[in-house]
């Protein structure tokens, strides 16, 4: 793990240990904005799907479930489809998504576009929108939208408007929240107040909304989920102001260490994030992953009614890391493994998976988890959740979700064995899954990312 991001992780752990806050680590649905009136490419008009852009999917994502049977079925179905069967190719894309064959999914959607270049469904599912006469990746369209509005003297504050119209709204929010807000972006699950500009704020809002939709789709099947008051997000652009306002607004009396990257504070329903955390190597990708991780914690508390401190730490953190490293661009693709350009989390899995004692992990208390072998604890929890969700052709998933449903009442290692299976039986299957499927996928992701960025070296 790179030393600078080791510091970031240590800072997160420090904060959680001192003040007991939710700590972090750096699906097909239709989401709508509360107002439906943000930018042209905002949550109100975005199809939340499994891909960030056509250029990213083959470069940065490796699937953990590319089995030969599914590949053969794809080949057979593709061969049988005609050259003009749009519905058939869209259905095949659905099949690929359900079996996490993301490269083939992209191939099917591109086939749709070769038949019908204006097909809105395929464009949305490739995370493209039309700006003027061009189909563009959402991020690029947002850049152009921002530039065009700036040329007209407009600013974004909930929507694009003349600067003079935004001023009283901004002034009111500055007075209410106690810091110099520049931009506000409203999502279905959040309201982002930002000093970091429209595009970054909008990306954060998109991630939170997408994770919210995916969370509801997955966990709503096994737990009763309540309505969520939008999460307040404070997004800073300087590490010193980030630390200062966090101390002030979260009522934290200690020192916030360099590398502290963000936290959801349940008591005030607020998520603190920053584009600058005082260490090198922090970038937008790191920020969005942290947003995804912390949103999982927030929704556990706010939507599922789960008090984080009352549940097994491996379950809480393993699921949050599972979400952050399934993030492709702005969207969680559960089961995908996207660790390209990361802080070494995949390498931590490689270090620990052969020796981790699952019985010990499942019984570990929060204090021990956060103080001893911390990177390995996170890595083992993540890879275990991934195995329980996708290993052995997904046969453990329903039992695992049933275990989650029973928490915190039935959350012990003994309860786990009763509901999911004996640890002594699962442990060999877990090690096989990680060694033969999980790690090769992670390495593919990292190496593809390094190659795309022109970096030397390979994770072998």
Q: What is the pLDDT of residues 213-241, one digit of tens each?
A: 999 999 998 888 998 899 999 999 999 99
Rounded Cα distance between 231 and 233, Å, is 6
pLDDT on residue 194? 96
Find the helix packing angle between 374-394 and 345-352, rounded to 10°.
Answer: 80
Question: Is 71 among the domain residues?
Answer: no
Query: CA distances (Å), 74 to each of 114, 336, 395, in order?
Result: 18, 18, 22
Band (341; pLDDT cuts 50, 70, 90): low
Total domains present in the chain: 1
Q: How high is the mean pLDDT of the chain?
A: 83
Distances (CA, A) of 171 to 198, 201, 271, 386: 17, 18, 21, 45
What does the pLDDT read at residue 447? 82
Per-residue pLDDT of 271-318, as tens digits, reads: 999 999 988 888 888 999 999 999 999 999 999 988 888 899 999 999
Higher-confidence residue of 35 and 451: namely 451
Q: Is residue 124 part of a domain?
A: no
Residue 310 lies in a domain: yes
Separation of first and last alpha carbons in the chain: 16
Structural domain boundaries enclosing 442 = 3-35+148-452
pLDDT more than 90, % of the chain = 56
Please report the pLDDT score of residue 449 as a whole number: 79
pLDDT of residue 343: 56
Q: Dihedral of CA 423/427/428/430: which sign?
A: positive
The string of pLDDT tens digits covering residues 108-148 is: 999 999 999 999 999 988 888 899 999 999 889 989 999 99
Is residue 18 a part of any domain in this protein? yes
Residue 203: closest CA among 345, 376, 327, 359: 327
User: Does residue 230 belong to any structural domain of this protein?
Assistant: yes
Where residue 207 falls among pLDDT bands split at 50, 70, 90? very high
Q: How far apart are CA 105 and CA 102, in angstroms?
A: 5
Residue 297: both structure tokens together: 């914690």
Confidence of residue 359 (pLDDT cuts 50, 70, 90): very high
| Residue located via tokens 């390094």 | 450
**Segment 4-54, tens digit of pLDDT:** 434 444 444 444 433 344 444 432 222 222 333 344 444 333 322 332 332
Does residue 164 belong to any structural domain of this protein?
yes
Residue 103 lies in a domain: no
Regarding predicted confidence, which is higher, 205 or 40? 205
Q: What are phi and psi of 251, to 5 degrees?
A: 55, 50
Say if 121 falls within a structural domain: no
Neighbouring C-beta atoms of residue 267, cutoff 10 Å = 8
Task: Name the pTM for this structure.
Answer: 0.83
The backbone torsions φ and ψ at residue 179, rounded to the nearest 5 degrees and listed phi first, read -150, 170
- Measured CA to CA, the distance from residue 263 to residue 71 in angstroms comes to 41
């Amino acid at each position: 793990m790179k030393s600078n991001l080791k510091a970031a992780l240590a800072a997160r752990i420090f904060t959680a240990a001192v003040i007991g806050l939710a700590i972090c680590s750096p699906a097909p649905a239709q989401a709508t904005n509360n107002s439906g009136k943000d930018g042209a490419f905002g949550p109100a008009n975005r199809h939340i799907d499994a891909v960030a852009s056509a250029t990213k999917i083959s470069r940065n994502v490796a699937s953990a479930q590319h089995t030969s049977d599914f590949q053969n079925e794809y080949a057979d179905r593709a061969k049988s489809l005609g050259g003009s069967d749009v519905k058939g190719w869209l259905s095949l894309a659905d099949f690929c998504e359900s079996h996490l064959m993301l490269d083939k999914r992209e191939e099917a959607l591109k086939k749709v576009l070769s038949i019908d270049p204006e097909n809105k469904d395929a464009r949305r599912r490739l995370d493209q929108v039309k700006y003027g006469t061009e189909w563009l990746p959402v991020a690029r369209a947002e850049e152009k939208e921002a530039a065009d509005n700036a040329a007209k003297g407009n600013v974004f504050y909930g929507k694009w408007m003349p600067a003079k119209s935004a001023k009283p709204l901004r002034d009111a929010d500055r007075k209410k929240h106690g810091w110099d807000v520049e931009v506000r972006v409203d999502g279905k699950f959040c309201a982002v107040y930002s000093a970091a500009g429209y595009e970054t704020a909008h990306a954060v809002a998109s991630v939170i909304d997408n994770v919210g939709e995916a969370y509801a789709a997955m966990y709503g099947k096994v737990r009763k989920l309540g309505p969520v008051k939008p999460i307040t997000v404070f997004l800073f652009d300087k590490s010193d102001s980030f630390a200062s306002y966090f101390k002030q607004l979260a009522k934290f009396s200690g020192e916030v260490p360099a590398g502290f990257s963000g936290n959801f504070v349940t008591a005030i329903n607020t998520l603190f994030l920053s584009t600058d955390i005082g260490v090198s190597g922090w970038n937008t990708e790191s920020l969005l992953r942290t947003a995804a991780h912390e949103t999982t914690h927030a929704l556990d508390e706010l939507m599922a009614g789960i008090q984080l401190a009352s549940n097994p730490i491996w379950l809480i953190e393993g699921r949050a890391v599972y979400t952050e490293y399934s993030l492709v661009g702005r969207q969680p693709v559960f089961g995908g493994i996207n660790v390209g350009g990361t802080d070494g989390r995949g390498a931590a899995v490689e270090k620990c998976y052969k020796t981790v004692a699952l019985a010990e992990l499942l019984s570990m208390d929060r204090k021990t988890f956060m103080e001893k072998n911390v990177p390995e604890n996170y890595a083992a929890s993540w890879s275990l959740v991934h195995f329980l969700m996708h290993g052995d052709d997904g046969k453990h998933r329903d039992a695992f979700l049933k275990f989650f449903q029973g928490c915190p009442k039935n959350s012990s290692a003994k309860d786990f064995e009763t509901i999911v299976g004996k640890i002594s039986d699962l442990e060999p299957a877990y090690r096989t899954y990680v060694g033969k499927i999980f790690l090769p996928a992670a390495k593919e992701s990292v190496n593809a990312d390094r190659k795309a960025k022109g970096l030397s070296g390979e994770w072998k």
